[in-house]
C-alpha cells in the first residue's frame, strides 16, 4: 500500500511539473509576442507623435511635471497643455490666453498670470508667441509659471 501511495504522489508531481513547464513556455512565448507588438506600436507612435516635458509651477513652491507626454507632431503648446492638464482659457482675435491651469487661476489684481517658458541653452526663456502659435518640438521642456508680470 505504501508503494501505491508513492506512485500516486510521483504521478501527481510529474503531471504538475509537465503542466507547469507547458504553462511557462506558453506564457514566455505570449509575452515575447506582446513585446513585439509593443515595439511595433512604439515605432508607429514615433512616426506620428513626439514626446515633450510639460511643467506647471503654481507660484507657491509647487511644480508638477508631466514628462514624456506624447503629442501628435505639429501640436501647439496650447493643445499639448490641454492634453496634460485641465485648462481654462479665453479666445481673443489675436489668439488664446490661458487663464487657469488645474484649477489655479491668474489674479489680475495681484498681477499674476500664467506665462510659459522654454528650456533653451541651459536657461528658461519666456515664450515669444501665444501658446496656440508655439509648435512643440520633440524632447522639448516647457514650463508654465504663475508669475507676477
**Full pLDDT tens readout for the chain, 149 residues:** 566 888 888 888 888 888 888 888 777 777 777 777 666 666 666 678 999 999 999 999 999 999 999 999 999 999 999 999 999 999 999 899 999 999 999 999 999 999 999 999 999 999 999 999 999 999 999 999 999 97
Q: Longest C-alpha distance within the chain, in Å?
A: 94
Domain boundaries, the chain: 49-148
Regarding the domain delimited by 49-148, which CATH topology (the fold level of the hierarchy) does it fall under?
Ferric Hydroxamate Uptake Protein; Chain A, domain 1 (2.170.130)
8 Cβ contact list (under 8 Å, min separation 6): none
Backbone angles phi, psi at 20, to 5 degrees: -65, -40
Going by C-alpha positions, the residue among 134, 143, 141, 146 that lies closest to residue 77 is 134
Amino acid at each position: 500500500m505504501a508503494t501505491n501511495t508513492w506512485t500516486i504522489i510521483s504521478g501527481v508531481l510529474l503531471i504538475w511539473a509537465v503542466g507547469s513547464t507547458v504553462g511557462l513556455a506558453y506564457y514566455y512565448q505570449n509575452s515575447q509576442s506582446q513585446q513585439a507588438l509593443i515595439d511595433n506600436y512604439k515605432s508607429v507612435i514615433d512616426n506620428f507623435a513626439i514626446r515633450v516635458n510639460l511643467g506647471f509651477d503654481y507660484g507657491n513652491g509647487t511644480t508638477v511635471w508631466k514628462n514624456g507626454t506624447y503629442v501628435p507632431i505639429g501640436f501647439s503648446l496650447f493643445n499639448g497643455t490641454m492634453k496634460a492638464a485641465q485648462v481654462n482659457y479665453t479666445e481673443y482675435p489675436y489668439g488664446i490666453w490661458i487663464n487657469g491651469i488645474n484649477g489655479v487661476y491668474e489674479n489680475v489684481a495681484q498681477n499674476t498670470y500664467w506665462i510659459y517658458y522654454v528650456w533653451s541653452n541651459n536657461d528658461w526663456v519666456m515664450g515669444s508667441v501665444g501658446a496656440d502659435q508655439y509648435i512643440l518640438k520633440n524632447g522639448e521642456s516647457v514650463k508654465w509659471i504663475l508669475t507676477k508680470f
